[in-house]
Chain A
Amino acid sequence: MSLSSLFTIFISGMLINNIILSKFLGICPFMGVSTKLSSAVGMGLAVIFVIFGASVFSWFLYYYALVPLGLEYMKLICFILLIASFVQFVEMFVKKTSPSLYKSLGIYLPLITTNCAVLYVALDNITQKYTLVETIVNSIGVPAGFMLMLVIFATIRERLDSADVPEAFKGNPIALVVAAIMAIAFGAFAGLV
């Protein structure tokens, strides 16, 4: 496990296998919250924190509780419950410690529980048989790619709002067309590693 292989995991999680453009996950919040730059940053940071925490906890739960007991098939049920409770604890913690942080992140936390990206990263770390360090790197890289997309997209969306779009394409359809074009652009990263 060299440094370069960790770097490969990070880059491929963030750019090459970008969770929105190549895995199509987390699209609901992607289309919903990406009209303003400030909310895109807030949502992105919240997702990075939750994915990171939830994945590390899931990793420990899997290798220290489920595997020794031979209950690997329970991973889906356990992970989704773990994620849901983790989000609750994080929300409470943020409320208590930092009102200003809550102001910028708080509203996005409940949205994240049902975000498929969180569950996907937790499960993916297990399927890829990542070690703890690799899990940590992967669970920062993937949401970093998510945040990158949110920020890029928010800036495009601000322009789109004033553009003259055909009636039927207004709102989500035109956003999807933009995503299609961005998928071509991100396709260029495929040869990076």
Chain B
Amino acid sequence: MSEKKQKRSFVSEMLYNNPVFGLYLGICSSLAITTTLNNAIGMGIAVIVVLVLSNIVVSLLAPITPDEIHIPVYIVIIASLVTIVGMLMQAFTPQLFSALGAFIDLIVVNCIILGRAEAYASKNNVLDSAKDGLMMGLSYTFSLIAMSFIRQLLGTGVLSMSNPMTNAEIFSLRLIPEGYEIGIFTQQTGAFLTFAILAAAVTAYKNANDKKEVAKQKAKEAQA
């Protein structure tokens, strides 16, 4: 079984264990802030930083934390990290900070982070935990980018990115002519719809893949 898992490509691994579309973790923030690519990448980076650091700290502290207080200790660690990241963003990328609004603070209750701290970081060593945090954070960011790509492109017709420090534009491409964009994709409805379709696509991919593997196994058995 483990051999088969290793054979999977990076992309399919990303789809199978995707925290957002596969496991439905951290849906709240992924629906709310994916209106533009900038917001998605900013949020993704914030989550990666918090996730990696919290995994590192938790895996260091886990052996010396008494069992009764491990949840409040993890909460304090995560909340402190989020506060620090929020302050840094407020200072260096004020526009991004105001666009993301309360959702920076709400990283604290993002199920991915506490979930990983409990399920992985508290039982593994520092290096593995950091790697796990990075992988989880990357696939979370990847999902955010996929969603915001669709929503920004269909909703405004323009794909653009700017440097969050200076607000200088990096690139801006109009791919859909003016008047043909679907404005509803920038609103709440578009968020739910995009998410539903992407989640269904991931499920369909998984189902098809599983069927293929079953068929392959059957063919092998028939040969033997």
Contact = CB atoms under 8 A, between A and B. Distances in A.
Interface string B72-105: 1001100110110011000000000000001001
Contacts of A131: none
A107 interface: no
Contact of B193 (A25, A74, A123, A180): A180
B200 A173 contact: yes
A172 B24 contact: yes
Interface in A121-173: 123-124, 127, 166-170, 172-173
A168 B207 CA distance: 8
Nearest to B83: A76
The secondary-structure label for the interface of chain A is: helix
The secondary-structure label for the interface of chain B is: helix
B105 A76 contact: yes
Interface residues on A, range: 35 or more
A74 B83 CA distance: 8
Interface in A167-186: 167-170, 172-174, 176-177, 179-181, 183-184
Interface residues of B, number: 41
Contact of A177 (B75, B106, B190, B192): B192
A33 B95 CA distance: 37
Interface in A38-82: 73-74, 76-77, 80-81
B72 A84 contact: yes
Contact of B204 (A115, A119, A168, A184): A168
B29 to A, nearest CB: 8
Nearest to B115: A114
Contacts of A24: 27-29, 31-32, 188, 191
Interface string B167-179: 0000000000000
Interface of A: 21-28, 31, 73-74, 76-77, 80-81, 84, 114-116, 119-120, 123-124, 127, 166-170, 172-174, 176-177, 179-181, 183-184, 187
Interface of B: 24, 27-29, 31-32, 71-72, 75-76, 79-80, 82-83, 86-87, 102, 105-106, 108-111, 114, 184, 187-193, 195-197, 199-201, 203-204, 207
